[in-house]
Structure 1
Amino acid sequence: MKKGKPSWQAKLVSLLLKLAVVFVVVIIAAGIYFDAQIKQKFSGTKWQLPALVYGVEHRYYQADALTRADLIQHLSILDYRKVRRLSLPGEYTTVSRGVEFIRRAYSLQEDSYGAQRIRVIFNGKRIEKVLDVGLNKALSGFQLEPYLLDRLQANNLEDRILVDIQEVPKLLIQTLLLIEDRNFYQHHGVAPLAILRALWVNIQAGRTVQGGSTLTQQLVKNMFLTNERSLWRKIKEAYLAILLDARYSKSEILQAYINEVYVGQNHNRSVNGMGLASQYYFAKPLNELSAQEIALLVGMIKGPSYYNPRKYPERAIKRRDLVLRIMTEHALLTPKEYEAEVSRSLSVRDLSEIATRRFPSYVDQVREELKALVSNDTQLFSGLKIYTHFDPLAQSRAQASLSTGIEKIQQQRGLTQLQGATVVVDSKSGGIKALVGDKTAHYAGFNRALNAQRNIGSLIKPIVYLSALQQQSGYTLATILEDKKITLTSSLGNKWSPKNYDEKYVGDILLIDALAQSRNIPAVNLGMQTGLSAVVDNLHQFGIEREISAYPSLLLGSLTLSPLEVAQLYQVFANHGVYSKLKAIKSIYSNDDEIIWRPKVEALQVVDYEHAYLVNYALHQVTKRGTAASLQRAFPTAKFAGKTGTTNDGRDSWFVGYEQSELAVVWLGRDDNQAISLTGSAGALQVFKQYQHSRTGESLVIAQPAGVAMRYFNKQTGAHSLPGCDNLIMLPAIIDKLPTPIECERSEQWQKPKKSWLEKLLDW
């Protein structure tokens, strides 16, 4: 029997079956492909994370030099909020003779610190008592979390603060699910009924007024897809959402959403995730948000630009209040709490305030050091934690002092276009505490602290005098130097006739007086006797790495250095002859708190303690009775060492000063290198004094070395003399290098002078 041809119905069924097989194969293949994409993106590093640059952790102890105003300023810089009654971490209030605050919980490498309620009582300019209020227990001190200095971005211009789901307030999670996806724990990535309901509402309204996407679909759209509006994209979104829901737990998906969701724009940087949004809008971490702040953030997800509280406060308030009402209807808030929250005014962080939290001059140095420490961007933007020596108090004070100081000097002296720079370092560790590269706060242009190359003038003189004191030929602080007109002739016949700044000459002068008064001619005479090579060698020993030409003009500071290099030079004196390389970065850790880099100890005794002591004694005299004597008058109970610097052409004004633990360098000048006619004492020293007025420091006290003792010298001859002779001065000297004292007749009334208790303590 002959078979007939298949009917068209059979052909259709066969075609449909084949198409169904192809469709299933395509779906399976697409599923495998999409699943691989999800696994690669979701299981690995989901985002390029910014490198977080932190300042130093502050530890304060009982009896430390600190005022109540200092502590309040520090808390304010860390975004602590002043309140009447403490209730949350990040809040402080003033009490009788003190401050009480709830210190935030924070982690620092291997150590973690819980929230703690602390009361600090002051006695004048010192901490008298520290109390743990919760435990009603006296403490020896307290610490404050490090300041987040900057977030070094990757090229994708996304920014976020990663948070763990355990760190997110329960109220925020409940509100988020209530507003964005009430059936989150019931569906499997998509909610067909929600899609149909949204479609019907939108058809009735004639426009899109409701979305049917689940929270999982929103996450897929943000992480895997573009903003293209098409049916195909929606199908991919739904399919990926189902696969994502099948592979990962609801908790993992929710955590990813909270870290991914787009909540605004900060110039060219997108604000992603609730962790960063909390800081961007309210300057506080998630766990310190109030109910109305949570309502605002969750409400903004619908349209971050449309509900931007800075641009459209009325829209934002209306949206916030709607979310608060829904929260109350679903028992997340009581009616009383709702009334309190809805009555609050809209208070978001001002954009100008965000700008004032950035310190580009310091970050420039961090970036420069990172070039040698981090090999590539992949490592850098994997959430590195970079801990630095940055001190936000020192930085803000140094900037304010430079800005107001320059403005005041310009008004008083009729100057224009005056610029400046300040560097503040920890004398012992070499840690850079503050860098100010411009008189304008937070300026991100030319960084004078690092890059201005200027003649250092008289700042070189301590090196010249040190080079002489190190000689075996018997130089002491009492050595007589000549201060007379001189002319030097080079081997090529070129003549150089240096002059003193006042163009006067005093004849013979003690070495210590020549340094204290910053006389030029004695320094030149001494340097030529000692040898230029000794001065150059000391400059290199002190950390100056550039090539130095050994010309006689070097003795008056023809060398060009940056303010940071000058700080390196004087760090050795401030640290008793011990060299420590100046550095901003303290350590680098991974996102998981694994140590990546820590500096090697580079403390080297490059100058004998005895010689460093003699120079420090002389530099103290500079601030007591020399070119910086106004410092002693301004701070009669404090002791500093320092040196003014003025270039002969009147283009640069310098001052370097240090006390017990901190050294500061100030430079003033013009970018076009025109004369400013300011000495170091008339210009830079005034800025330094203003900086010192803004802080509570510790007087310089340097223990006298065993090989140094106070001895008498003849003021006219500089000879080592016995006590009781006429015309004597008492100065420290290295005993082993002193000749036998000269005999002389003592007057019958002579008695050995008695030291005061303060002289015995300081031995100066």
Structure 2
Amino acid sequence: MLQKKRIFKIVVYLTFFSGLFMTVLLAILFADIPFGRLDEYLEAQEDRFITASGPTLERDSIILKEHLTSYLLFSDSNIDLRSWYQERLEKKELAPFSEEKGGSVLLVGEDIALKPPYKNNCDKLYCFQKRIKFDYIPALFWKGLMGIEDYRFLDHIGVDFKSILRAIVKDLYEMRLAQGASTLTQQLVRNLFLSNEKSFVRKIKEVFFSIYIDWRFSKEQILEAYFNEAYWGVQQGILLRGIYAASVFYFGRPPQYISSYEVAILISMLKGPNYYDPKSEKGFVRLQERAKVVFKRLEQMHLFPSEEGGIWSEKEWNSWGKKIVANDDRRPLSALWQITSAEYEHLNSFEAYVFVDAAKVTLRRALERIKKEATHDISVKAIVGKVAREDVSGGEKIENERPFIYYSKEERDKFLAIFQEPHQVGSTLKPVVYDVFLQHGKKFSDLVSMGEITLKLKSGSWSPREAHEAEMPEVTLKEALLNSYNRPVITLAQEIGFENVQKILINYVPSLSLPLAEFPAQLLGAVELSVGDVFKMYSKFVSEKCIERGEVFSEAEGEEESVLKILSDPTLSTTRRVVDGPMRDMRFFGKTGTSNNGNDNWYIFFDGKNLGVIWVGVDGAKSSEDLKLFGSSTAFSIFQQFSTNRGKRFEEMACQ
């Protein structure tokens, strides 16, 4: 009897401590698994947009079809592009305008309201994800994947013990790891919560968590999460997560509109997106071979009508491969990724996309131009917003909506780069300086010498130089400003008196080094300001000269022209060689600026509504060699592409 009691106690103790041990073990195993985030991944997803309302393409504006197509893919996951365009052409809401390199140009015949872009579901840098509901995932995808990867998916409990046993037997028979046994649920767990390390602890976590998910959620929810969270490689510099991103980046269509063979290609890539990367020569060949095998398997499963289409020809494969490589270079969709992760008010989402795309195109061309100096870090910074106004009655600044702020380096602090990092301003200061001359009695019709001038400074003798020598001994102030000459600025400042110039100029550039007479090169742009400082300077200048006084379009006989009006014709200023298309007939204030060796390149613009500052240049250590970059070929190029293709009518400039 005592023996039985002793055995009973031992059993009780063993049971208790075994249970305690298992409890502690499970607690340790699952301590780092975020159970609370399951609903985010596995519950039905509602569409989220970056703004409450979408943009409107204005009647009589022009757009690039490439821009519109890309935008639609990021704002309407159910869109049939072919039908959408056909309907708009029939209604004459869109019409062909012309064919240009980079895409066909469309004329907007009637106002077209677009949806806002989807909010990016991926919170990682350079990653895009748009979760879609199970109903919008074509059955060919999930039925095909189940048939190839996990044919007992509907029957097992998250872990297929029969498959595990079969895999163990085969591995033992062949004396190697010949067959895996992971279910789709286990693959989902690895994608969401676990690392790829091969350890016993990770495998135990995977098994238990897969069983929990299978108990907690329906099979449809698990499949939905699988296709929304799967990794599909990197295209156009963007990490693709989910079936929607993969379908759009690889085939330019939502998943419900791609062909059965394209489905086979995407399913094939899931086995190893980097291994089957079509951008690499070896990956492309591997993908071809695997896609043929997968497609034949889908055919055998009778998942689509036989008349729907067959295996791609070599010509079709080559055409698609070239397009993938070209898009990876051009990166038309990466700009859309950027606006789905940003917050802004002044520009609508379509305008923001066109601006970012223009910046990326210009940046790529600039890098190609200086590829021999590839060590230089070229970037783009910009602000586009409204002019800050002063309340005349109370003297207080009227608050405006947040401006559009752009910095090409998403990995860095955008506001630090825009508002705290200074750059040489080049000739962008000259319009303000010439206005100071006008306030001291000078007129644009006055003549000024182009001859050499030497100033005796405490630091030594200094002579301003010209980028291009002029043949004329004298020019008018108007010609000097339009051509951005240097010597006339110093000559006029000396005539008026450097002290008189600095009294007014200090109101626009508080950081000016004084006395100005000892630092005259500042008048030519040898002063460093952040992009935000330049925007603030011109906001004050335009507010005073245009909005408060309305100087720009004064047509009274004998009245002197203003600085803003003089620089409102792009065919007469420093942009005359690069302005083209409709922009040649438009009128807007604009001024380029370039520092020594092309390290800093600027364009300032005001069209009556938008004030913008665009900088393209070298971040970090400056180049000691001439990069042959200019404000007219870089920053102005961004403005020209943006203004031409943003879906807004370009009206004559007026102070508003």
Length-normalised TM-score, structure 1: 0.58
In 2: Cα distance, 1:283 partner to 1:240 partner: 36
Instruction: State the 1:537 CA deviation.
Output: 0.5
2:290 partner amino acid:
R
Q: Deviations over 1:391-414 (max 9, x none)?
A: 444455566567768989x9xxxx
Q: Deviations over 1:318-375 (max 9, x none)?
A: 43334333433443212223636799648467467446439999999x9xxxxxxxxx
Please state whether the residue corresponding to 2:432 is helix, strand or coil.
Answer: helix
1:74 aligns with 2:67: yes
How many correspondences in the alignment? 590
Which residue of the partner structure matches residue 181 of structure 1? 150
CA contact (8 A) 2:119 2:341 kept: no
User: Which stretch shows the higher mean deviation, 190-199 or 157-166?
Assistant: 157-166
Alignment of 1:575-614 (within 5 A): 577=545, 608-610=549-551, 614=561
Please state whether the residue corresponding to 2:567 is helix, strand or coil.
Answer: helix
Higher helix share: 2
Which residue of the partner structure matches residue 453 of structure 1? 423
Please state whether the residue corresponding to 2:304 is helix, strand or coil.
Answer: coil
Which residue of the partner structure matches residue 516 of structure 2? 551
Alignment of 1:330-409 (within 5 A): 330-337=301-308, 339=310, 345=317, 347=320, 350=324, 353-354=327-328, 356-357=330-331, 386-387=343-344, 389=347, 391-397=352-358
Which residue of the partner structure matches residue 508 of structure 2? 538
Higher strand share: 1
1:615 aligns with 2:605: no
Please state whether the residue corresponding to 1:538 is helix, strand or coil.
Answer: coil
What are structure 2's unaligned runs of at least 5 residues?
A: 43-47, 100-104, 388-401, 555-560
Q: Deviations over 1:166-186 (max 9, x none)?
A: 443333233233333334343
In 2: Cα distance, 1:527 partner to 1:515 partner: 19
Which residue of the partner structure matches residue 161 of structure 2? 192
CA contact (8 A) 1:658 1:664 kept: no
Instruction: State the 1:536 CA deviation.
Output: 1.1
Which residue of the partner structure matches residue 738 of structure 1? none
The structure 1 residue matched to 2:219, chosen from 230, 235, 250, is 250
CA contact (8 A) 1:299 1:320 kept: yes
Which residue of the partner structure matches residue 85 of structure 2? 100
Which residue of the partner structure matches residue 59 of structure 1? 56
1:121 aligns with 2:106: no
Alignment of 1:181-260 (within 5 A): 181-225=150-194, 227=196, 234-260=203-229
2:566 partner amino acid:
L
Q: Deviations over 1:219-278 (max 9, x none)?
A: 344545555556665555433333333334434433433344455578999765444444
Q: Deviations over 1:623-667 (max 9, x none)?
A: 576777768999764435444657799998876566566657577
In 2: Cα distance, 1:184 partner to 1:449 partner: 55
Instruction: State the 1:434 CA deviation.
Output: 6.8
In 2: Cα distance, 1:38 partner to 1:230 partner: 16
In 2: Cα distance, 1:435 partner to 1:251 partner: 41
In 1: Cα distance, 2:418 partner to 2:300 partner: 59
Change (3 A) 1:522 1:289: same
Report the RMSD for the aligned CA atoms in angstroms.
6.0
2:262 partner amino acid:
E
Q: Deviations over 1:518-563 (max 9, x none)?
A: 53222443464744121110335xxxxx455341314444423466
CA contact (8 A) 1:391 1:434 kept: no
CA contact (8 A) 1:38 1:244 kept: no
User: Radius of gyration: which is bigger?
Assistant: 1
2:67 partner amino acid:
H
Alignment of 1:6-155 (within 5 A): 6=3, 19-20=14-15, 22-24=17-19, 26-27=21-22, 40-43=35-38, 59-64=56-61, 66=62, 70-75=63-68, 78=71, 89=79, 91=81, 100=85, 120-122=94-96, 130=109, 139-143=110-114, 146=117, 153=124
CA contact (8 A) 1:423 1:449 kept: no
CA contact (8 A) 1:189 1:214 kept: yes
1:559 partner amino acid:
V
In 2: Cα distance, 1:419 partner to 1:30 partner: 51
In 2: Cα distance, 1:267 partner to 1:669 partner: 23
Instruction: State the 1:454 CA deviation.
Output: 2.4
Please state whether the residue corresponding to 1:610 is helix, strand or coil.
Answer: coil
CA contact (8 A) 2:121 2:131 kept: no
Please state whether the residue corresponding to 2:56 is helix, strand or coil.
Answer: strand
Alignment of 1:439-518 (within 5 A): 453-454=423-424, 456-457=426-427, 459-467=428-436, 469=438, 475=441, 477=443, 512=478, 515-516=481-482, 518=485
The structure 2 residue matched to 1:639, chosen from 582, 587, 599, is 587
In 2: Cα distance, 1:305 partner to 1:702 partner: 51
Q: Deviations over 1:32-81 (max 9, x none)?
A: 7767766735447669xxxx9989965322212x1xxx422424655979
2:145 partner amino acid:
L
CA contact (8 A) 1:427 1:574 kept: no
Change (3 A) 1:618 1:562: same
Change (3 A) 1:522 1:514: farther
2:429 partner amino acid:
I
Which residue of the partner structure matches residue 323 of structure 1? 294
Which one scores higher on RCO, CA 8 angstroms, separation ≥ 6? Answer: 2
In 1: Cα distance, 2:358 partner to 2:249 partner: 25
2:292 partner amino acid:
D
What are structure 1's unaligned runs of at least 5 residues?
A: 82-86, 94-98, 104-115, 131-138, 367-382, 438-443, 541-545, 579-604, 706-764
In 2: Cα distance, 1:655 partner to 1:483 partner: 27
In 2: Cα distance, 1:654 partner to 1:233 partner: 54
Change (3 A) 1:263 1:700: closer
1:639 partner amino acid:
R
Change (3 A) 1:427 1:258: closer
Which residue of the partner structure matches residue 522 of structure 1? 492
